[in-house]
Structure 1
Amino acid sequence: MTQPHRLSRLEEIIQQLRSENGCPWDKKQTPASIKKYLIEESRELAEAIDNGEPQHIREEIGDLFFILTILCEMFREKDIFTTEDALQTIIDKMIRRHPHVFNGAPTGTDQELRRQWQAIKEMEKTEKK
């Protein structure tokens, strides 16, 4: 199974879980109610990384994928945005914030790259206002 197909499969599973005949627990979740699980799964992933256990890390990354994907589904159900929209947003952001990789800009020191990252981030915040 390819990566895009696996993501689509996860989305299908979540849609089934939240469907009329789905799981009562999954159906009643909201972004506000799922937030605590997002925090919990992030903490568990951090612990797994600290412990250096690849199998546990993989499991916790999967749990986090589930939480992020169910959040996207909640927003898709309200016609706000989709998983694809969220993925495109991060793709665009990473390209924008790495001009030294994607736009042929000169590569500087780590400190210069951090300053550049912060400057781009601040510019993005200003543009959002």
Structure 2
Amino acid sequence: MNYTSDAREFLRLRDIIARLRSADGCPWDQRQTPKSLKKYLLEETEELAQAIDRDDPDHVCEEIGDLFYILGMLTAMYSDQDCFTATDALSSICEKMIRRHPHVFAGAATGDDEALRRQWEAIKADEKKNS
């Protein structure tokens, strides 16, 4: 995995989205709202699932890219409204994955798949209770 290339392309996509949404950008992109993009988010997710079912890595790659675009658009919209930033969303998921995988990040005992599922659900329930 080349993190430098990944980061560069994520930044490039962010810049493309900013340009598309700018005053001299694309009228369609400018008109979008989180609610209008919901339909496309669901469609692209379904297309990704179908590509996975067909074992078609090229199409999986394309559909993951489409989802990155939709997620980037949503992130830009919420960031513009001062709700959260991409950094906030990424930090949140990183912290959640670390919390929910103590067997990887905190040296906790590893059990079978069922034990891991129960542990995940218990941690998730604790998070909901404490939020």
Q: Deviation of residue 127 (structure 1)?
A: 1.2
Which residue in the other structure is 2:97 paired with? 94
Within the candidate set 113, 120, 123, 1:110 is matched to 113
Query: RMSD of the TM alignment (CA)?
Result: 0.8
Mapping of residues 37-116 of structure 1, within 5 Å: 37-116=40-119
Distance apart, 1:83 and its partner CA: 1.1
TM-score (norm 2): 0.95
* 2:13 aligned with 1:19: no
In structure 1, how many angstroms separate the alpha carbons of the residues matched to 2:54 and 2:116?
A: 30
Amino acid at match of 2:56: E
The count of residues paired between Structure 1 and Structure 2 equals 128
Q: Which amino acid aligns with 2:62?
A: E
TM-score of the superposition, structure 1-length normalised? 0.97
Distance of 1:5 and 1:72 partners within structure 2: 17
What is the deviation of 1:49? 0.3
Question: Match of 1:69, SS?
Answer: helix
Q: Is 1:120 paired with 2:116?
A: no
Q: Which runs of 5+ in 1 are unaligned?
A: none
Structure 1's consecutive aligned runs of 4 or more residues displaced over 6 angstroms after TM superposition are none
How far apart, in 1, do the equivalents of 2:11 and 2:92 lie? 18
* Secondary structure of 2:107's aligned partner: coil
Residue aligned with 1:63, SS: helix
Q: Percent identity?
A: 57
Q: Which residue in 2 is equivalent to 1:35?
A: 38
> Partner amino acid for 2:79?
R
